[in-house]
Amino acid sequence: MIPETVVTFFHANQNLLWLTTLTLDLSMTLLLYRFFGRLGLTAAIVLSILLANLQGPKLTEIMGMETSLGVIFYSTIFFATDLLGEKYGRAAATKAVLLGFSVSVILVVMMSMSLLYLPSTRPESAVFSYEIHQAFSKILDFTPRFVFGSLLAFLISQSFDVWLFHRVKQWTKGKHLWIRNNLSTITSQALDTALYTVIVWWGIFDLATAFQLGLAKYVFKVFIAAFDTPFIYWARGWNVPHAKTNYDTKMQGSNQQCL
């Protein structure tokens, strides 16, 4: 899918690849918001959860630190909930968090169910089917520790993020968006990282390695919180539909004409 020249370039420039991925991810979130409003931000949260869960186990090295690839997409969730809360209020952001949690539960259950299906044994596809089954098993075979830890960390940290964002907004009387965006994200990400490190990584790795991974993830999360600030300022000024899309408005008009 990706041209070989691009693959070769980014293999040799992993730090640039990370910044490119982060910029692309935030830009796509803004596009969803631009075209679909509140529904687009909710979709971005759900999409980021799916990507973070699927790519979370993949470890890579960025800027000399080992970290999980899922940190990029997981951090975008905080950006989307902050923008959602800024534009549509605390209730909308809280509802999106609960929806994201529900999607996470369904994702884990249905992926776990998929592993119960045995690979095909037909001679013409047996080898391919077995290899795909093993790949799925490696990625999707969630342990109870991972399920409990990731879901608990998500629910607590996201709920705290929404609460703190709006508490700071009250303190500052709606001014200084950059303060509430960064403070709520950095604080809630610290809580998320601590919970995930202790519950999930500690047991897979020794305590020192677990905290090393957690610290590296938190450094990236803090950077992302600062990096996304211009994006949220940019999006705040857009005149985007509140709840109804242009399609909904047209359909409502058509229904009235029919009546």
pLDDT at 259: 45
pTM across the whole model = 0.79
| 8 A C-beta contact, residue 214 and residue 201 | yes
247: pLDDT confidence band, cut at 50, 70 and 90?
A: very low
Residue 237's pLDDT band (cuts 50, 70, 90): confident
pLDDT of residue 83: 92
pLDDT confidence of residue 143: 60
Tell me the pLDDT tens digit for each residue of 177-212: 888 988 988 898 899 888 888 887 777 778 888 888
pLDDT in tens, 157-169: 888 999 999 999 9
Fold topology of 4-114+141-245? Arp2/3 complex 21 kDa subunit ARPC3 (1.10.1760)
**What is the gyration radius of the CA atoms in the chain, in angstroms?**
20
Average pLDDT on 153-158 reads 86
- The 3-state DSSP class for residue 234 equals helix
256 pLDDT more than 60 = no
Q: Where are the alpha helices (DSSP H) in 141-206?
A: 144-171, 177-196, 202-204
pLDDT attached to residue 258: 45
The mean pLDDT value of the chain amounts to: 83
Exposed, middle or buried by CB within 10 Å (0-12, 13-18, 19+), for 52? buried
**Percentage of residues in the chain having pLDDT higher than 70:** 90
Q: What is the mean pLDDT of residues 81-103?
A: 89
pLDDT at position 217 over 70: yes
More confident of the two residues 254 and 134: 134
Q: Tens of pLDDT along 6-50?
A: 999 999 999 999 999 999 999 999 999 999 999 999 999 888 888
Answer whether 72's CB lies under 8 Å from 25's CB.
yes
